[in-house]
Amino acid sequence: MKTTTKFLATAAAAVALFFTTSVNAQKPKLGIGINAGIPTTDQYNFTLGADARLQFDVSKQISIPVTVGYTHFFSKDNSPEIKQDYGYIPVKAGVKVFLNETGSGLYALGELGAAFGVSDQAKTGFLYSPAVGYAWSSGLDLGVKYEGISSARTATSVYEKNVSHIALRLAYGFKL
C-alpha cells in the first residue's frame, strides 16, 4: 500500500476517533444509503453500491462525514473468460455544508479517502468525491455524486487504471 493511501486512511480514522471521543461533540447521525450510477469509462455498464455514513455536526450548517461501503462496477463484456468487474471498499472523510441555516435542505459535500480494491488485478487507489444533494428533516437524503479513483487497477490489467462514475445516492439518516 502506498504511503499516500496509508496517510489518507489514517487521517480518516483520526477524524472519526477525534469526533467520537470529543467531550463537546454532539451525538453523530448515521446514514445508510444505496448508490446506482453510470461509469464514465466505456468498459462498464453501470455501478451499484451501498454505504454507511457517520456524520458529526460541527454546527447546524457544517458537518464532518466519515463514509465506508462497497461499490461494484459491472463490465460490459458478458464473456466469463474476459469479464472483469471491479469492486472496491471506499473509506473516506470530508466536509458537508448545508446552504440553509436549519441544517437540512440543499447541501454540498466533498470527500477524500482510499478505495480498497477487492477484484482481480485491483489495488488500493486515491478516492475523491464531490457531491450535491438535498436532506429532509425527516432523515431522507437524496444526492448526486461524482466518485473518481486513481490507480484502481494494476498496470497489467486490460482495463483502465483510473475509474470513475456519477451516481445517485438515496439514504436515510437518524441520530444515534
What would the pLDDT profile of 13-47 be if each residue is shown by its tens digit?
555 555 554 434 578 999 999 999 999 988 889 99
pLDDT in tens, 47-57: 999 999 999 99
Cα–Cα nearest to 47, from 175, 161, 122, 148: 148
pLDDT at 156 over 70: no
Cα–Cα nearest to 27, from 54, 67, 61: 54
Fold classification of 3-175 (topology level): Porin (2.40.160)
The confidence score (pLDDT) of residue 23 equals 39
Residue 122 burial (10 A CB sphere; 0-12, 13-18, 19+):
buried
User: In degrees rounded to 5, what are phi and psi of residue 123?
Assistant: -140, 180
The confidence score (pLDDT) of residue 81 equals 53
73 and 86 Cβ atoms separated by less than 8 Å:
yes
- Written as one string, the DSSP assignment of 67-106 is EEEEEEEEES---TTT---EEEEEEEEEEEEESSTTS-EE
Cite the DSSP H helix spans in the chain: 3-21
Instruction: Return the higher-pLDDT residue of 142 and 153.
Output: 142
The domains of the chain are located at 3-175
The confidence score (pLDDT) of residue 143 equals 98
